[in-house]
Structure 1
Amino acid sequence: MDKKEFWHLLDAAKAEAAGNQERQQQHLVARLTEREPEQIIEFECLLRQYIIEADDFTVMAAQKIIDGYVSDDSYLYFRCWLVGQGETVFANALRSPDTLADVVQEPYQDFEQLLYVATIAFAERTGQPEEDETFPRAQAEARGLDYGPGSVTKGEDWTDNQLPRMLPRLWKKFGA
């Protein structure tokens, strides 16, 4: 699976789900289950690459404004949500997180379920009920694709009083 296929799957799942993340997850699992196990592993690796790519202080600032707080888990799930919005929203947000003011309607955006898509699909496809070192998460971690605590956030940290100037459109919509 290449990046183009990855984004095609995500964009199609988002369109079919019409805003329902459970259906989006189910669609992704169903499409991945049709593929070879190696492609499911590649999906996991690409997902992790994009989650890591989105680990930037300006993205974190956007999440702080939208959700009102940031924690390790909420920041990870927010980045999952960002990937789940599809290639265009993701790319635009990385260039300028303030563009999320056009996308986000309500506070608290997360898509934790996206983290489990490849694992579920791999288990269904291979018939393996127990997760082991052959599963997508273990394979991705073996390649050094770890988004957990200890990963390095890019850019410059900020303080709360900088947020209105950093991301004025998001601040106007959610921070005021």
Structure 2
Amino acid sequence: MNLHPITAHMPEERFWGIITATLAAAAAAGDDPDAQDKAQNASLAALLSELDWQDVLAFENRFNALHRASYTSHLWCAAYLMCGGCSDDGFDYFRYWLISRGEAVYKAAVSNPESLAAIADPENDDYEREDIAYIARDIFAEETGGAEIYGYLSPDERGYPDITFDWEEDDPATMQHLCPRLYAMFWE
């Protein structure tokens, strides 16, 4: 097998179609969030297993591009409120969760993080999905005889842009200013 880096990104319509299919599988798993996550993961693994390694890589490139595009101070503030605190890794996992929620939720939140108040549950602080980030990587390794996906990803999607924080965790008023609805739901 002649492996080489793939810079192509899966078209957004196709990417979000796959995520939508996994959400249908999650919904069919009932009301238990853990069962829903497992069903979504299994569905994603099954769908990606049907693709060739180049398409799996293009899926991962799109996933990484969306993850990178959601690296904003305002969204980090929302994550901090919803999760009861949010480290660097926690913000990564929050953005994986955000992608796993589908196109409409993702795009609304990137545009206006306050939109998450419509789907957030103040009784829940589990808005992280580290597990979903490894599925394409595992499928790629299976299809390529154990190759690590990192060496074949688009170099454009590595690292994060610089951001300037417009809120401070030690100054709740700054979080309230940016995300008043989420602040009222999770902080007060």
Query: Which residue in 1 is equivalent to 2:87?
Result: 71
Residue number in structure 2 paired with 1:16: 25
Partner SS for 1:144: helix
Distance in 2 of aligned mates of 1:11 and 1:153: 31
Q: CA deviation at 1:108?
A: 2.7
1:53 aligns with 2:69: yes
CA distance in 2, matches of 1:37, 1:58: 35
Equivalent AA in structure 2 for residue 103 of structure 1: I
Deviations 1:49-99 (A, max 9, x none): 000000000100001111121211100000000011000000000111011
1:116 matched to which residue of 2?
134
Equivalent residue letter for 2:132: L
> Within the alignment, does 1:100 sit opposite 2:100 as a pair?
no
Looking at structure 2, the residues matched to 34 and 91 of structure 1 have their Cα atoms a distance apart, in angstroms, of 27
Please give the alpha-carbon distance, in whole angstroms, between the structure 1 residues aligned to 2:162 and 2:136. 25
User: How much has 1:122 moved relative to structure 2?
Assistant: 1.6
Q: Residues of 1 paired with 2:17 and 2:92: CA distance?
A: 22
Preserved CA contact (<8 Å) 2:140 2:147: no
Structure of higher CA gyration radius: 2
The answer (yes or no) to whether the contact 2:166–2:174 under 8 Å persists in 1 is: no
What SS does the aligned partner of 2:166 have?
coil
Report the TM-score when normalising by structure 2: 0.83
Which stretches in structure 1 are left out of the alignment for 5+ residues? none
Q: Where do 4+ consecutive residues of structure 1 move more than 4 Å? A: none
Q: For 2:164 and 2:108, how far apart are their aligned partners in 1?
A: 17
2:151 alignment counterpart: 138
Give the superposition deviation at 1:138.
2.4
Unaligned runs of 5+ in 2: 1-9, 28-32
What is the alpha-carbon distance in structure 2 between the residues aligned to residue 43 and residue 123 of structure 1? 14
Q: Give the structure 2 partner of residue 62 of structure 1.
A: 78
The one-character-per-residue Cα deviations of 1:11-47 (angstroms, maximum 9, x if unpaired) are: 1101211251121111111101101110000010000
Cα distance in 1 for partners of 2:40, 2:60 equals: 16
| Deviation (angstroms), 1:153 | 4.3
Q: Percent sequence identity over matched residues?
A: 27
Given residue 138 of structure 1, which amino acid in structure 2 is its aligned partner?
G
Cα pair distance change 1:56/1:153, threshold 3 Å: farther
